[in-house]
Chain A
Amino acid sequence: QLQLQESGPGLVKPSETLSLTCTVSGGSISSVSYYWGWIRQSPGKGLEWIGTIYYSGSTYYNPSLKSRVTISVDTSKNRFSLNLSSVTAADTAVYYCARQTKGMTVAGSYFDYWGQGSQVTVSS
């Protein structure tokens, strides 16, 4: 059974960089059929897609966050990571990593396995 687990600091200071890692077990991150994504949910708000990476390193970012987001993959450790720079209180959220399965096209992909989520609070 595929499992994803987020890890990283739960508290980040304003203006600093939020860093999270998602470790994948029970399957290979290098599979050609899947992409790997980050999604967040701010308090009282809905789900927001942050970005997606393919095992080759190709990335897709939410335009509203693109200038601050970097997603990378480490196939040797079967994990991928999120860096979000210059954080503010508005970045306080539960951050989820998820597997993204291609539909007929990459655009048609959906998130079928999710991590449990990692609460990140931005505060001094």
Chain B
Amino acid sequence: QSVLTQPPSVSGAPGQRVTISCTGSSSNIGAAYDVHWYQHLPGKAPKLLIYTNSNRPSGVPDRFSGSKSGTSASLAITGLQAEDEADYYCQSYDSSLSGWVFGGGTKLTVL
């Protein structure tokens, strides 16, 4: 059971917009610790998608965006493409655990 809660699954049709939430608490996101997002394809290494709440690494399409407010963060994907089908994880720091934590992951299905 992760301290960062994500929906197990989300889905959308090609071209649509989907959002993935990441809900924390006062010891992690609510304590102003930054949130980062990863895309994980089966059999591949996880890929950094968004860092420090809303920044995209070089090479990540601007279809991906991140935001943070209060004790939650969100990843938005617009113009959904078949290649976006993957697992997505949020990550932050938790002061109660004194360590870095991942959300439980969300499986995105492109219909």
Choose among A63, A96, A103 the residue that contacts B97 (Cβ–Cβ < 8 A). Answer: A63
Given contacts A112-B57, A115-B45, contact A46 B105 (CB under 8 A): yes
Task: Bits for B71-98, please: 1 = Cβ < 8 Å to A, else 0.
Answer: 0000000000000000101010101011
Instruction: Say whether A116 contacts B33, CB under 8 Å.
Output: no
Choose among B2, B38, B93, B98 the residue that contacts A111 (Cβ–Cβ < 8 A). Answer: B38
Interface magnitude class on chain B: 20 to 34
Residues of the B chain whose Cβ atoms lie less than 8 Å from the Cβ of A62: 97, 99
Measured between alpha carbons, how far is A116 from B34 in the docked complex, in Å? 25
**Using a CB-CB cutoff of 8 Å, which residues 45-99 of chain A contact chain B?**
46-49, 52, 60-63, 96
Cβ of A109 < 8 Å from any Cβ of B? Answer: yes
Instruction: Say whether A108 contacts B46, CB under 8 Å.
Output: no
Residues of B within 8 A of A (CB): 2, 33-34, 36, 38, 40, 44-48, 51-52, 57, 87, 89, 91, 93, 95, 97-105
Q: What are 5 A-B pairs with beta-carbon distances under 8 A?
A: A49-B99, A61-B99, A62-B97, A103-B34, A114-B47
Residues of A within 8 A of B (CB): 37, 39, 46-49, 52, 60-63, 96, 101, 103-104, 107-112, 114-117
